[in-house]
A = this chain, B = another copy of it.
Amino acid sequence: MLAQDSGRSIKAVMAVHNETSTGVTSRIGDIRKAIDRTRHPALFMVDTISSLASIDYRHDEWGVDVTVAGSQKGLMLPPGLSFNAISDKALAAHKTARLPRSYWDWSAMLAANQTGFFPYTPATNLLYGLNEAIEMLLEEGLDNVFARHDRHAEATRRAVRGWGLEILCLNPAEYSSALTAVMMPPGGNADALRKIVLDKFDMSLGAGLSKLAGKVFRIGHLGSFNDLMLMGTLAGVEMGLSLVGAPHHKGGAQAAIDYLAEAAGRPDITVGPKRSAA
């Protein structure tokens, strides 16, 4: 489409790094290269709400123009803060843009940020939490954080396959390390599963959205999460499948245990944010 847009009517290409409703992680660097091959000047804008600080992401290196992020996922905070990273190209476009704006205007924010301030009253209490969250992430090491989520995603997929269920995402290169969307077996209702898991085990699984409604449930494994929290989660799913009488094999949780135990034997893994930390 970009190649055919000789009139340059397309202003931006927008992508979601980690698609929360499907458990698909887009290959942002490759999308950038595809844009570049067309020599089209469109901006490249990426939503990293459910990936940032759980899945590796590189605003500068991958040539993204505008990145949007939030506090409530990988940054392990309550919702209430949002972030933008912007390239020089995006900033230049901002200066000439004619869409009316006020709150969303970067100029006021950039001017105030110079001295550490905000043009409007920010959610100050979350800034204290953000400071602590960043310290926790750097203490564990970002590479270790990403490897931990990769490990939990792989353990989850092994559980799903152990149950004989299908992962919604078909391309292994795009498996999400933040969440896994699982196809409910034919005849089953994913929302009935979600309801019984909430009622009986106080665990909230993600729902399938729009055309996946009732057909898919989602298992989150992002942010502040460790091996035992994942095992509680997977046990809850396996028990829920049993309770709703969904056709499945036992042994999914066992497959995750076996994988995690083996992984834990490696010297380089990290545990995640520690309960016992002071």
Contact = CB atoms under 8 A, between A and B. Distances in A.
Interface residues of A, number: 55
A278 interface: yes
Nearest to A80: B123
Given A80-B126, A122-B79, A253 B228 contact: no
Residue among A202, A226, A258, A275 facing the most chain B CB atoms (10 A cut-off): A202
Contacts of A100: 99-100
A67 B262 CA distance: 47
Interface in A219-241: 226-229, 231-233, 235-236, 238-239
Given A250-B258, A278-B128, A271 B235 contact: no
A23 interface: no
Residue among A80, A100, A198, A272 facing the most chain B CB atoms (10 A cut-off): A80
B123 A79 contact: yes
Interface in A224-278: 226-229, 231-233, 235-236, 238-239, 242-243, 250-251, 253-254, 257-258, 260-262, 264-265, 269, 271-272, 274-276, 278
A204 B78 contact: no
Interface of A: 70, 72, 78-80, 99-100, 103-104, 121-126, 128, 131, 198-204, 226-229, 231-233, 235-236, 238-239, 242-243, 250-251, 253-254, 257-258, 260-262, 264-265, 269, 271-272, 274-276, 278
12 contacts: A79-B121, A199-B271, A201-B226, A201-B227, A201-B264, A202-B271, A227-B239, A228-B235, A228-B236, A231-B232, A235-B253, A235-B260
